[in-house]
């Protein structure tokens, strides 16, 4: 690991001043940054620990009814907050389906949004990777790419964003509150992560020197609390990243879907909001047929980027199944295995 200077600012102004150095990096819990530094993938000259910034460890309701979650709130605390989990159950389920209890205790909201892809070539400093080293190529193209993207990818990069948390957030129209030298701005979460295009080196809408201050969820998003699920397919039941995942929240009136909020994870460089499928589902009966039709629309533009065509079918079926699970009603209690399909089979899920 490269050595670095460590700063722990006490105010936002101090933090932004410290981050004006182009070789500086923000530190949340450290569970991703430290890992990448050990691997030699990240090598900041200066670490700006945000832990002491005031007011960012709070979950609050703004006068306009928005829920605001500070960037320093721990993933575990957010999932366990009774008010938050009741209003946004699929966000809590997604959080609890991610990583492990130890990691969720350390991981912050800001760090979760900003976490890097888990593409194995990105994590290997000796591999060609346009995302890590602009213009160096992409060893995942034609390499081990079973886990890679089927939507929104480009020949420059086929990586997926690994966050579970971000998937229901994108579906619910959450926004990231970003602070920088020229003030604060809001970016919709569904556009916060950039599609690779020609420039996979840039992963998010954050400009150099900016930080994520908070997350905002619109008041209307809580209107979906009664019918909302997050389901995540993994290679083992727990403590594994998604192969594909889906968030579905429905407002059902008299057996008809009045409104839907849908997104997919593990399929693209951003959490993939399925707006066309949402529109197609609105006004349709809440039946398996409607869900299958909407899911098929969501994947209609998908294309394999390698040995990952199976994900297209998997994502389509999972999305339909997640809508069905949402239609059946948000469970009264958080499932023992959050996000798991094993939970409703009645069979032992662990060996």
Partner 1 sequence: MTLSITLTVNGTPHHLALDDMRVTLLDLLRDRLGLTGTKKGCDRGQCGACTVLVDGRRLNACLSLAVQQDGADIVTIEGLAPEGSLHPVQEAFLEHDAFQCGYCTPGQIMSAAGLIAEGADGTDMERIREGMSGNICRCGAYRGIAEAVAEAARKARTEADA
Ligand X SMILES: Cc1cc2nc3c(=O)[nH]c(=O)nc-3n(C[C@H](O)[C@H](O)[C@H](O)COP(=O)(O)OP(=O)(O)OC[C@H]3O[C@@H](n4cnc5c(N)ncnc54)[C@H](O)[C@@H]3O)c2cc1C
The residue (of 206 and 299) whose beta carbon lies closer to ligand X is 206
The contact mask relative to ligand X for 47-66 (x = CB under 6 A, - = no) is ---x----------------
The residue (of 30 and 125) whose beta carbon lies closer to partner 1 is 30
200 binds, among ligand X, partner 1, ligand SF4, none (CB under 5 to 8 A by kind): ligand SF4
- The least CB distance from residue 231 to ligand X, in Å, is 13
Segment near ligand X (CB under 6 A), from 29-37, 193-201, 222-230, 341-349?
29-37
- Verify binding: residue 159, ligand X, rule CB under 6 A: no
Instruction: Give, rounded to a whole angstrom, the gap between the first and last alpha carbons of the chain.
Output: 38
- Verify binding: residue 200, ligand SF4, rule CB under 6 A: yes
- Verify binding: residue 73, ligand SF4, rule CB under 6 A: no
Distance (Å, whole) CA 126 – CA 206: 27
3-state secondary structure of 228: strand
Q: Which residues bind partner 1 (CB under 8 A)?
A: 1, 3-6, 8, 27, 29-31, 34-35, 38, 47, 49, 51, 76, 80, 99-103, 105-106, 237-239, 336-338, 348-351
Ranges of H-type helices in 232-309 = 275-281, 288-298
208: which 2 tokens?
Answer: 């150099």
Sites for ligand SF4 among residues 135-194 (CB under 6 A):
138-140, 157-159
Distance (Å, whole) CA 175 – CA 33: 23
Distance (Å, whole) CA 50 – CA 109: 12
260: which 2 tokens?
Answer: 């839907």
Distance (Å, whole) CA 17 – CA 12: 9
Residue 253 dihedral angles phi and psi, to the nearest 5°: -125, 120
Segment near ligand X (CB under 6 A), from 1-9, 28-36, 270-278, 304-312?
28-36
């Amino acid at each position: 690991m490269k050595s670095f200077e460590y700063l722990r600012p006490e105010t936002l102004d101090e933090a932004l001043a410290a981050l004006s150095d182009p070789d500086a990096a923000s530190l949340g819990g450290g569970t991703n940054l430290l890992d990448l530094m050990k691997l030699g993938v990240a090598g900041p000259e200066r670490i700006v620990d945000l832990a002491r910034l005031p007011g960012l460890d709070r979950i609050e309701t703004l006068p306009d009814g928005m829920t605001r979650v500070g960037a320093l709130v721990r993933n575990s605390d957010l999932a366990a907050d009774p008010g938050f989990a009741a209003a946004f159950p699929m966000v809590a389920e997604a959080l609890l389906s991610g990583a492990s209890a130890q990691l969720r205790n350390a991981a912050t909201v800001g760090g979760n949004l900003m976490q890097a892809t888990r593409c194995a070539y990105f994590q290997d400093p000796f591999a060609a990777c346009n995302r890590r080293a602009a213009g160096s190529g992409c060893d995942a193209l034609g390499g081990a790419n079973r886990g890679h993207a089927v939507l929104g990818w480009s020949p420059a990069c086929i990586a997926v964003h690994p966050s579970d948390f971000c998937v229901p957030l994108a579906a619910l129209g959450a926004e990231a509150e970003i602070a920088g030298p020229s003030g604060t701005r809001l970016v919709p979460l569904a556009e916060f992560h950039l599609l690779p295009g020609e420039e996979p080196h840039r992963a998010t809408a954050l400009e150099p020197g900016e930080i994520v201050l908070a997350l905002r969820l619109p008041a209307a998003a809580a209107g979906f609390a009664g019918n909302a699920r997050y389901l995540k397919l993994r290679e083992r039941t727990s403590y594994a990243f998604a192969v594909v995942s889906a968030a579905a929240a429905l407002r059902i009136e008299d057996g008809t879907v009045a409104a839907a909020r849908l997104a997919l994870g593990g399929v693209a460089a951003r959490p993939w909001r399925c707006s066309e499928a949402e529109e197609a589902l609105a006004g349709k009966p809440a039946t398996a047929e409607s869900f299958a039709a909407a899911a098929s629309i969501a994947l209609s533009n998908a294309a394999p980027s390698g040995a990952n065509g199976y994900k297209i079918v998997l994502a389509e079926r999972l999305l339909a199944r997640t809508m069905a699970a949402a239609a059946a009603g948000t469970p009264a209690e958080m499932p023992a295995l959050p996000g798991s399909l094993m939970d409703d089979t009645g069979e032992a899920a662990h060996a």
